[in-house]
Amino acid sequence: MQDFLFRQHEEGVAAFDTNAVQLFVEGIEREKLLGAPLTAYGRIRLARDLLRMAAAFGLVKGQPLRRFAQVTIPDDALLYALYSLQGELPSVSRALQSRKWRLFLLTPSAVERELLNLHQFRRVRYDHAGSIRELSLHYKSVQEFARSLTL
């Protein structure tokens, strides 16, 4: 679903409905990404459920036509994602390019803007000069960061 929403968002689609998501569902079904073939009603149901999930996360609003909601991602959510990516990806450039940011509907340049904001408020240390990027996080792991949120 993240690919569908991200593509719609990037293409500037103002509104979409269950039928548009149903085409997406049919595409992933053709690619055999689902465990078993769906019935016609199953495709509709999955498309509705995916839209319902996106609405529950605050990414879209409205019915029957869905529109993108103006989402402000909390700094702690961005930091949690950064800490999670820190262990997976060895370089800052690769972390910025990660497809996981699509969950937040963020492009690499938008992620970099968020990093600059976090740097400005001293939540991270982020330096960028030409093609060299350096990121320093205050905690050693996602677990330490999560613990810090509970204190």
The whole-number average pLDDT for the span 120-143 is 93
Residue 36 has pLDDT above 80, yes or no: yes
Mean pLDDT of the chain: 90
C-alpha neighbours within 13 Å on the C-beta side of residue 118 = 24
The whole-number average pLDDT for the span 117-131 is 94
Query: At CA 146, angle to CA 142 and CA 151, rounded to 5?
Result: 145
User: What's residue 88's pLDDT?
Assistant: 81
pLDDT more than 90, % of the chain: 60
The whole-number average pLDDT for the span 23-41 is 87
Q: What are the two backbone dihedrals, phi and then psi, of residue 65, each rounded to the nearest 5 degrees? A: -85, 130
- The whole-angstrom separation of Cα 130 and Cα 118 is 20
Residue 71: pLDDT band by 50, 70, 90 thresholds? confident
What tens digit of pLDDT does each residue of 78-118 get?
Answer: 999 999 998 787 789 999 999 999 988 999 999 999 999 99
Residue 28: pLDDT band by 50, 70, 90 thresholds? confident
Which class in CATH covers the domain with range 75-150?
mainly alpha
Residue 39: pLDDT band by 50, 70, 90 thresholds? very high
Q: Where are the domains of the chain?
A: 2-68, 75-150
